[in-house]
Structure 1
Amino acid sequence: MLSFRRATPNDLPRIVTIYNSAVPSHDITDDEMPITVDSRQEWLNHFNDRFPIWVVISDSTIIGWCSLGQFYPHQAYQFSAEISIYLASDTQGRGYGKQILNFIDQQITDNLDIKTVIAYVYENNLPSQKLFQKCGYQQCGVLPQISIIDGELRTLKIFVKHFNL
């Protein structure tokens, strides 16, 4: 059984380690090289009660993190959030992604004034695409060849889910 709590600055080293475990695949993150804790300090400060970040805990160990970040810094998008989910590589494929999305759905329904959640998923990241679709997200767009990672153009798929409309 997973548990969740709001992330603190003390969790940042573990958050970075989990994120960095996804970097070598080149199908999950935008980064070609591992990031540092120092480089993520300001990033962590952008999360708050309105747009939170949580750590995912199993057997008293942080195995992942998830966040709802501000989608776009304009008043018109104040009820929209961008979702991120990362799990330690040795914990993937165990159904935790679905539990995390269920937790986030419950947080939005009960506690957060968010109407739309947007997920950007690289086209080669089929497990994440399947996860979001299984959990009620609809693919609503494609950004073809929008980024360059390791010298290759990458395409993002956009998934969306509406809440509390």
Structure 2
Amino acid sequence: MNKIKIRFAEENDSNEILDIYTPYILNTPITFEYDRPDEEEFKNRIVKTKKLYPYLVYTIDSRIIGYAYASQYKNRKAYDYTAEISIYIKEGYKGKHIGQNLYMSLIEILKLQNLQLLYACITIHPTLKSSDFHKKLGFKEIGYFEKSGFKDGQWYDTAWYSLEIGDFKPNPKEFIPINKINKEKLNKIFRKYEEAINK
């Protein structure tokens, strides 16, 4: 049986993660980035994200098959309870519930950090399944933007989706950086979704 593991990304994972991301850049409108980032630049992106938010990888027999992370929505104190999330799965591994379990791991960790609301920005195209994926997990469309991105000779619409994960009390608990979250609670989440995949 293949050994499945969900864990935090490490700096030395950056090249393997970048190799998963590159086909999305070069062959799809899923990301509006045009060019493959420099390896050092991409590593710095991971390091910067990990200062506050989770950056997760899904591995099979120690090989990274997918990754998901949260990032700051806007640099204002009032937005501390909101984050944008993203996920990318290696070509050939979609439709195996990898994305769902990896995303749910990320979402549960963000709840521990006292996040209240999550956003995902999605490119709209008949060949892309991102909208269906997010709707299945409870996201709802909250905004639609026509012709907001141009890539490979075509204009693309985008939509913003949101997922409420908090209780929106008048005095919310402070946002907790990822390195302050109890390690056993994190490991419990990882084990939960690793076991879900193995069933």
Instruction: Give the TM-score, by structure 1 length.
Output: 0.90
**Which residue matches 2:191?**
none
Alignment of 1:66-85 (within 5 A): 66-85=68-87
**Which residue matches 2:151?**
149
1:28 aligns with 2:30: yes
Return the alpha-carbon distance in structure 2 between the equivalents of residues 50 and 24 of structure 1. 29
Aligned residues: 164
**Which residue matches 1:92?**
94
SS in 2 for 1:126: coil
Instruction: Give the TM-score, by structure 2 length.
Output: 0.76
Q: Is the 8 A contact 1:71 1:80 kept in 2?
A: yes
Q: Which runs of 5+ in 2 are unaligned?
A: 168-199
Q: Percent identity of the aligned residues?
A: 21
Alignment of 1:35-74 (within 5 A): 35-48=37-50, 50-74=52-76
Q: Which runs of 5+ in 1 are unaligned?
A: none
Shift of 1:134: 0.2
Q: Is the 8 A contact 1:121 1:129 kept in 2?
A: yes
Return the alpha-carbon distance in structure 2 between the equivalents of residues 95 and 117 of structure 1. 21
Alignment of 1:122-137 (within 5 A): 122-124=123-125, 126-137=128-139
Return the alpha-carbon distance in structure 2 between the equivalents of residues 137 and 4 of structure 1. 23
Q: Is the 8 A contact 1:16 1:36 kept in 2?
A: no
Higher RCO (CA < 8 A, seq sep 6+): 2
Q: Is the 8 A contact 2:29 2:151 kept in 1?
A: no
Q: Is the 8 A contact 1:66 1:85 kept in 2?
A: yes
Higher strand share: 1
Return the alpha-carbon distance in structure 1 between the equivalents of residues 50 and 29 of structure 2. 28
Q: Is the 8 A contact 2:54 2:106 kept in 1?
A: no
Q: Is the 8 A contact 1:22 1:89 kept in 2?
A: no
Structure of higher CA gyration radius? 2
